Chains A and B, each alone.
Chain A
Amino acid sequence: MPEGVAADPDVALMLRVQAGDHDAFQELFRKLSPRVLQYTRRFVGSEAQAEEVTQDVFVQVFRFRHRYKPQSRLTTWIFTIATNLCLNELRRPERHLRVDIWDRRDDDDRREGPQLPDPDAVTAEEGAATRQLARRLEEAVGALPPKQRAALLLSRIDGLAYRDVADALGCTEGAVKALLFRATQTLKKSLHEFLPKED
């Protein structure tokens, strides 16, 4: 087992799950599900679907717990499962009939249905421009092609290197760099009014 992985408390938790400790699974769920749920929310854009996918992620983690080898970080493995399930979810034809949180307009705060976490909760002191930037950013991320969205969101998960993102997406590091370049170019165009101007 690599040294960094051995010190990872998530891996120790997973080893307990593999040994049949059901309390360890609950602990694992409580520790990682908030990040997985936020990831799936941004990925699939629907609150209800994000919860379904998150549930499926942890059921898969349990079902295939013996396939996890502690050579890699647990988060890489779990977010690989989450990414695959999100991509599957986006391919489902009936999905197009569902409400999509990315359909929200700036002036549409009273719309019923799923809502993203209120950006005010994190950035209250930063003013209206920052809140608007956060909202526009969420929308722009939601409009990215699924593979670019996956690469971008995975690369923002703490500690996930491009190599891990490539593993999760089943592609090369070079392909990840290309996906991220295209994704950031799109985001820069969408958010140009919020970005610093040229020298």
Chain B
Amino acid sequence: MRCGRAQKLLTAAVDGELSPGRRAALDRHLAGCPVCRAERAATQSVLDALDALPMVAAVPAALEQATLRRVRVLAAEEAERTARSGWRAWLPLPALAVTAVLVLAIAITRTADDRIPTSGARSPERIARAHPAQSHPNSAVAVAPPAEPPPALAAAPELFVDLPMLRNLDKVKHFEAIRTTTLDDETPSGEEAPSNG
């Protein structure tokens, strides 16, 4: 065994924490090594000095009182929790049953309201709830005209003017007269008045 290894074992050796095999190997090394023997003596002295230090301290009465007070509070809290948890043990089944019945009743009532028209007038609030866009006075959908034509018409403006009546408008005799006549106008000379027959 080398000195470095031997010295690492000295504390455990002094404390009696070495296995018999290691202890024997260390003892053989110490027998022939004065440096390690001195180290062993120093280790022994340090540990003896540590063991000679007082291992107990006087506990102030205030410390005991404060600790016991905290423990009493803790015990009271535990007792309260235990009592509450006793109630909870009985609570779940009836509570769940009551909750389930209530939820079912509300659901059935609401479904019936929505399906069957009532004899009375529907309230404005319910109408507003059902059709918010129609009922809201400021609704953009209900009031404002469309800002733009639908994209299909915007892409084909001829759809606006290609109606047969408009296309043949210039063929209609007396078109100008029809357009501008009033009941007081006289038929111009040399021209036939339009007839229905």
Residues of A near any B CB (own CB < 8 A): 22, 25-26, 29-30, 33-35, 37-38, 41, 51, 54-55, 58-59, 62-63, 117, 119, 121-123, 133-134, 137-138, 141, 152, 155-158, 161-162, 177-178, 180-181, 184, 187-188, 191-192, 194-199
Specify the main secondary structure of chain A where it touches its partner.
helix
Check A38/B54 contact, CB under 8 A, given A33-B59, A162-B17.
yes
Contact count A vs B, C-beta below 8 Å: 126
Query: Smallest Cβ distance from B39 to chain A, in angstroms?
Result: 8
Of B62-70, B104-112, B134-142, B187-195, the segment with at least 4 beta carbons within 8 Å of chain A is B62-70
Q: Which residue of A lies closest to B60 (CB)?
A: A51
Cβ-defined contact, B46 with A37, below 8 A: no
Check A33/B17 contact, CB under 8 A, given A62-B74, A121-B54.
no
Q: Which residues of chain B in 56-110 are interfacial with respect to chain A, using CB atoms and an 8 Å cutoff?
A: 56-60, 63-64, 66-68, 70-72, 74-75
Of B8-16, B151-159, B172-180, the segment with at least 4 beta carbons within 8 Å of chain A is B8-16
Q: Cα distance A158–B66 when bound, in Å? A: 28
Q: Which residue of B lies closest to A161 (CB)?
A: B17
Confirm or deny: B50 has a beta carbon within 8 angstroms of a beta carbon on chain A: yes
Q: Cα distance A84–B36 when bound, in Å? A: 35
Confirm or deny: B130 has a beta carbon within 8 angstroms of a beta carbon on chain A: no
Cβ-defined contact, B50 with A137, below 8 A: yes
- In the complex, 12 of the A-B residue pairs with CB atoms within 8 angstroms, ordered by the A residue number, are A25-B71, A33-B59, A34-B57, A51-B60, A54-B59, A55-B70, A122-B53, A134-B53, A156-B55, A180-B11, A180-B12, A191-B46
Q: Which residues of chain B in 19-52 are interfacial with respect to chain A, using CB atoms and an 8 Å cutoff?
A: 34-35, 37-39, 41-43, 45-47, 49-52
- The residue that B45 contacts in the complex, of A30, A63, A180, A195, with Cβ under 8 A, is A195
Cβ-defined contact, B71 with A59, below 8 A: yes
Q: Cα distance A38–B46 when bound, in Å? A: 19
Cβ-defined contact, A55 with B50, below 8 A: no
Interface contacts beyond A34-B59, A55-B63, A119-B54: sample of 6 additional A-B pairs, CB < 8 Å, sorted by A: A30-B64, A62-B71, A117-B57, A155-B15, A177-B8, A192-B42
Most-contacted residue by chain A among B34, B53, B59, B64 (CB, 10 A): B53
Q: Cα distance A2–B80 when bound, in Å? A: 36
Please classify how large the interface on chain B is, using the bins under 10, 10 to 19, 20 to 34, 35 or more.
35 or more
Cβ-defined contact, A156 with B56, below 8 A: no
Which residues of B lie under 8 Å from residue A178 when comparing CB positions?
Answer: 8
Residues of B near any A CB (own CB < 8 A): 7-8, 10-12, 15, 17, 34-35, 37-39, 41-43, 45-47, 49-60, 63-64, 66-68, 70-72, 74-75
Cβ-defined contact, A29 with B67, below 8 A: yes
Cβ-defined contact, A188 with B46, below 8 A: yes
Cβ-defined contact, A51 with B45, below 8 A: no
Check A197/B57 contact, CB under 8 A, given A58-B71, A122-B52, A134-B52.
no
Cβ-defined contact, B53 with A196, below 8 A: no
Query: Smallest Cβ distance from A74 to chain B, in angstroms?
Result: 16
Check A196/B38 contact, CB under 8 A, given A58-B67, A134-B49, A162-B17.
yes
Cβ-defined contact, B47 with A184, below 8 A: yes
Cβ-defined contact, A195 with B46, below 8 A: yes
Q: Cα distance A180–B18 when bound, in Å? A: 13
Which residues of B lie under 8 Å from residue A180 when comparing CB positions?
Answer: 11-12, 15
Which residues of B lie under 8 Å from residue A158 when comparing CB positions?
Answer: 55
Which residues of B lie under 8 Å from residue A121 when comparing CB positions?
Answer: 54
Which residues of B lie under 8 Å from residue A38 when comparing CB positions?
Answer: 54-57
